[in-house]
Structure formats: structure tokens, C-alpha cells
């Protein structure tokens, strides 16, 4: 059975739990975004440990779709907070 591990294509979906944890640690959006390469590296290292070289990482949508970020946006009426949330996703304020 183990010979199949090295031939398999491993897919990982980086989702709200992976990124949302950073917000529960009071990290900024930019710090959470910066953590994505480390998350992918951890997956990659573990897959290489199985002698596989095939890794596909499927990421979630824009970071402000995470429920905790949406909650912050709804609670904060300040223009600065809304700017940071919009700016983090490369959009412009209307």
C-alpha cells in the first residue's frame, strides 16, 4: 500500500479554519496573509516525507470573506477599518 503514497496527488484546501486562527491570535490581515507560505511549506514538507512530489493547494477566496473578518467590518464604522479590509483585497473604496 505504501508504494501508492509516492504516486498520489495530494490536494489541500486552505480554508477559513487555517486562516481564521491567525485572527483569533489578534494578528492583522497582512500578518495572516504572510502566514500562507508557511502553511503551504508545512504541507509540502509532510508530503515530501511520503516521497511524493505532487502537491496541489487550493486556496479560499478573498480574505475578507472569512466570517471573523466580516464581523469586524460590521462592528467597525471607522473609515480606516473599512479601508484596511478593502485594501487587503486589492479593491477600491466606493
Sketch the domain layout of the chain as residue ranges.
Answer: 2-88
- Across-strand partners of 13? 58
pTM for the model: 0.47
- Residue-wise pLDDT for 36-86, tens only, equals 788 778 877 877 777 766 666 666 555 555 555 555 544 555 555 555 555
Can you tell me the distance from the alpha carbon of 94 to that of 58, in angstroms, rounded to the nearest whole number? 30
What H or E segment, with its residue span, contains residue 55? Answer: strand 55-59
Amino acid at each position: 500500500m505504501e508504494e501508492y503514497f509516492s504516486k498520489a496527488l495530494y490536494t489541500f484546501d486552505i480554508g477559513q479554519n487555517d486562516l481564521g486562527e491567525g485572527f483569533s491570535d489578534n494578528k492583522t490581515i497582512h500578518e495572516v496573509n504572510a502566514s500562507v507560505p508557511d502553511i503551504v511549506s508545512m504541507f509540502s514538507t509532510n508530503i515530501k516525507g511520503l516521497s511524493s512530489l505532487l502537491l496541489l493547494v487550493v486556496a479560499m477566496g478573498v480574505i475578507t470573506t472569512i466570517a471573523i473578518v466580516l464581523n469586524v467590518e460590521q462592528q467597525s464604522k471607522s473609515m480606516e477599518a473599512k479601508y484596511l479590509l478593502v485594501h487587503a483585497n486589492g479593491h477600491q473604496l466606493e
